[in-house]
Amino acid sequence: MTSLADLRSAFLAFFADRDHAVVPSSPLVPRNDPTLLFTNAGMVQFKNVFTGAEKRPYTKATSVQKCVRAGGKHNDLDNVGYTARHHTFFEMLGNFSFGDYFKEQAITFAWDFVTKTIDLPKDKLFVTVYPKDEEARGLWKKISGLSDDRIIGHESNLWAMGPVGPCGYCSEIFIDQGPSLWGGPPGSPEEDGDRFLEFWNLVFMQFEQVDENTRVELPRPSIDTGMGLERIAAILQGVTNNYDTDLFRHLIAASVEFSGARGNTDEIRASHRVIADHLRAASFLIAEGVLPSNEGRGYVLRRIMRRAMRHAHLIGSKDPLMYRLVPALVAEMGEAYPELPRGQALIVETLKLEESRFRETLARGLKLLDEATTTLGKGDTLDGETAFKLYDTYGFPLDLTQDALKARHIGVDVTGFTDAMNRQRAEARKAWAGSGEAATDTQWFALQDEFGKTEFLGYDTEEAEGTVL
């Protein structure tokens, strides 16, 4: 049971057998939630069920949720290409209790799935609990039989839906991937290494934050869990990097083939990983009708696409690359996500157009960046004026400039950048406030059906000015 498809169905079947309703993934663009750029966890579609504002015909649910963490509170954009475990787009397996079972049952389910269904070796597992959560510590001990030193108190195990609303402690499950990798167990100074991998988070919604100073016990506490599909697939496939799983190997093979960049340096490998990752995020967003633009969700998409395009340029790709990788993605993920084959033509067209438009300014901008930084070295900072010029004239999102200088350990004067922007853009549009009305996949495809597949207005209608998120 190591393929993504097998894992998805094993997880859903495990919880369906335990009376959970199997609920489809909600869109990446959250419906009716202007506070959130993209769905970033399985619980997002159930927010109102947790608070009691919405009733569903079930009190237990399970899902495989499409997630994007590339902006807002959870932003893993800067991690991609640098860590073995982060993606901008990923799938989250989850089980949920809405005032039904609580800690003991949630821990039992998780432990049974991990040690019996997918057979992970118990002697390699660690869990974390909030230091004050003696209840969870006791339950883990009773249910898993893990020794005390493998149930680690960690201050970060606190979770809240927002400044007000449900909140509580959480527990995370880690696996020790062996001493060949750098890193220490959670709570140690080396916990950020790759050796100890967090793969499942169990959230115990126990309290309600009523206002800044008041926290009350929820009458019927709830459970929200999330496990990264790509991480668990890597563990089961015996690899210690998500990008070495079969899905990513196939995407990276396509990137190698179409770019012709066969070199095996760390830099080239990282570029292929970024390209493969960003291909997924961009394609899934476009499939839902998000189009590159200069604000809000569209600007996050543009940043993802342009970052990938810089990496394609870095590895020497002469022609637009991203759009040629779409068939490989559809072959890998099209069965589980029909919106991909359905949106394929749009995805290809959007990637191709953005890449064609950006190529020339990308090359010229990189030249300017080189010239501006020839005398700079480790620990130095690029001035804000130049970063703004790159943004304004060459279409370089700030994070692209930062990413381009990261390997040389050169920073960017962000305050100077913002000042330059404010000066020149006194009339700039206000930062994205969120309408909550972006096209959902259903709306998008309805429009597409109405106007035909080739009608494509994205670039002509976009605003000229930028907004930095």
Residue 96 interacts with ligand ATP (CB under 6 A): yes or no? no
- Cα separation, 442 vs 457, in Å, equals 18
Residue 221 interacts with ligand ATP (CB under 6 A): yes or no? no
Interface segment toward ligand ATP; rule CB under 6 A; list 51-59, 87-95, 308-316, 449-457 = 87-95
| 320 contacts: CB under 8 Å, gap ≥ 6 | 312, 351, 352, 355, 356, 359
From the list 200, 337, 417, 432, which residue makes contact with ligand ATP (rule: CB under 6 A)?
A: 200
Residue among 67 and 291 whose Cβ is closer to ligand ATP: 67
Residue 227 interacts with ligand ATP (CB under 6 A): yes or no? yes
- Least separation in angstroms between CB 156 and ligand ATP: 8
- Cα separation, 448 vs 223, in Å, equals 39
DSSP string, 233-278: HHHHTT-SSGGGSHHHHHHHHHHHHHH-----SHHHHHHHHHHHHH
Residue 230 interacts with ligand ATP (CB under 6 A): yes or no? yes
Provide the token pair at 255.
């990137």
Residue 144 interacts with Mg ion (CB under 5 A): yes or no? no
3-state DSSP assignment of residue 202: strand
From the list 11, 14, 169, 199, which residue makes contact with ligand ATP (rule: CB under 6 A)?
A: 199
From the list 201, 225, 293, 317, which residue makes contact with Mg ion (rule: CB under 5 A)?
A: 201
Give CA angle at 164 (161, 165), nearest 5°.
55
| 215 contacts: CB under 8 Å, gap ≥ 6 | 167, 207, 208, 209
- Cα separation, 334 vs 328, in Å, equals 10
From the list 23, 92, 247, 326, which residue makes contact with ligand ATP (rule: CB under 6 A)?
A: 92
Query: Binders of ligand ATP: how many residues, by CB under 6 A?
Result: 16
- Least separation in angstroms between CB 86 and ligand ATP: 4
Residue 194 interacts with ligand ATP (CB under 6 A): yes or no? no
Give the residue from 434, 430, 358, 432 showing the smallest Cα distance to 400.
358
Interface segment toward ligand ATP; rule CB under 6 A; list 145-153, 198-206, 291-299, 369-377 = 198-206
Residue 273 interacts with ligand ATP (CB under 6 A): yes or no? no
User: For the chain, how many helices (H) and strands (E)?
Assistant: 15, 13
- Cα separation, 57 vs 391, in Å, equals 50
- Least separation in angstroms between CB 255 and ligand ATP: 19
- Least separation in angstroms between CB 54 and Mg ion: 25
Q: Cα Rg for the chain, rounded, in angstroms? A: 23
Residue among 4 and 202 whose Cβ is closer to Mg ion: 202
Residue 39 interacts with Mg ion (CB under 5 A): yes or no? no
Provide the token pair at 228.
């990264």
Position closest to ligand ATP via CB: 228
Residue 76 interacts with ligand ATP (CB under 6 A): yes or no? yes
Interface segment toward ligand ATP; rule CB under 6 A; list 2-10, 82-90, 207-215, 401-409 = 82-90
What own/partner pairs with CB < 8 Å and gap ≥ 24 does 13-19 have? 14/109, 14/113, 14/117, 15/60, 15/62, 15/95, 15/109, 16/62, 18/60, 18/109, 19/60
Residue 389 interacts with ligand ATP (CB under 6 A): yes or no? no
Phi and psi at residue 167, to the nearest 5°: -155, 175
Residue 226 interacts with ligand ATP (CB under 6 A): yes or no? yes
Number of Cα atoms under 13 Å in the Cβ half of residue 341? 8
Provide the token pair at 298.
């569209």
Interface segment toward ligand ATP; rule CB under 6 A; list 225-233, 329-337, 350-358, 415-423 = 225-233
Residue 208 interacts with ligand ATP (CB under 6 A): yes or no? no
Residue 228 interacts with ligand ATP (CB under 6 A): yes or no? yes
Residues lying near ligand ATP in the complex (CB under 6 A) are found at 69, 76, 85-87, 90, 92, 198-201, 226-228, 230-231
Residues lying near Mg ion in the complex (CB under 5 A) are found at 198, 201
